[in-house]
Amino acid sequence: MNSCVAAMRVDRFLSNLAQFNRKQVRLLLVERRVSVDGVIVSDPHHDVREFSRVCVDDNVLQAGKPALYFMLHKPQGCVSATSDPQHPTVLDLLNEPDKADLHIAGRLDFNTTGLMLITNDGQWSRRLTQPTTKLPKVYLVATEQAIGAEYTTTFAAGLYFAFEDLTTQPAELELLGPTTARLSIIEGRYHQVKRMFGHFNNKVISLHRERMGPLELDAALAPGEYRPLTLEEILQV
């Protein structure tokens, strides 16, 4: 799956082609004969990506494939994977060509519901999911037992996970009812939410992701439904 292709400098991209040597590439750029996505470029550092359309004069050197971005309302009972021998996957819910190029930005457990973002743009998905960007992931949580006020303090301070030998980054908990809360976390470690509540021996009975960074689940999407992201939504990340 070719989901995380990095950008390449335009001079390097051209030099890698058999028809141009480095001297010719420098001349092409100086003479402003190179265009990327319809814009003339002369800067050798200009980025070329797998989605870029690259031309010299009127000759198309790379047509560029379309960048795809989808929002899915993940239902219970499907796997956050591109393929699975036993269970339906989130990609099975998409009626799209070229599904092999798609990957999931921020997986959810088998029975966790809510916002799932699916794309073929690896740079975009990394900005959304990497803890360094500090984009919050917001969940609605329902538990078996009452959620105490001490949870808020403990989550804000961070919890130590012995398996990974790390302390979680501060998380924000908003109590909504005796056994319901809204939790905002920056990371998304293995079963993190369930493990955080497990610290208090309180079982999570339902988990629903409402938001990832600036992107909120569209209320019009029923479980199992999806739609393309708008340009405005894509540019927010």
Distance CA(79)–CA(213), nearest Å, equals 22
Per-residue pLDDT tens over the stretch 49-104: 989 999 999 999 999 889 999 999 999 999 998 888 999 999 999 999 888 889 99
Give pLDDT tens digits for 185-227: 998 777 899 999 999 999 999 999 999 999 999 999 999 999 9
- Which numeric CATH code is attached to 8-62? 3.10.290.10
Query: What architecture is domain 69-235?
Result: 2-Layer Sandwich (3.30)
Token code pair at residue 4:
């995380």
**Ranges for all domains in the chain classified under CATH 3.10.290.10:** 8-62
User: What burial class does residue 3 get, using C-beta atoms within 10 Å of its C-beta: 0-12 exposed, 13-18 middle, 19+ buried?
Assistant: middle
pLDDT at 133: 84
Q: Which is more confident, 179 or 81?
A: 179
Which positions are annotated as active-site residues?
109
Residue 83 neighbours by CB distance under 10 Å: 10
Q: What is the DSSP letter of 124?
A: H
pLDDT of 235 over the 60 cut: yes
* Structure-token pair, residue 57: 């004069």
Q: Which two tokens stand for residue 165?
A: 């030998």
For the chain, residues classed under CATH 3.30.2350.10 are 69-235
Reported confidence tier of residue 38, pLDDT bands at 50, 70, 90? very high
Query: Residue 6 — pLDDT band, cuts 50, 70, 90?
Result: low
Which residues, 6+ apart, have CB-to-CB distance to 161 below 8 Å? Answer: 167, 168, 189, 195
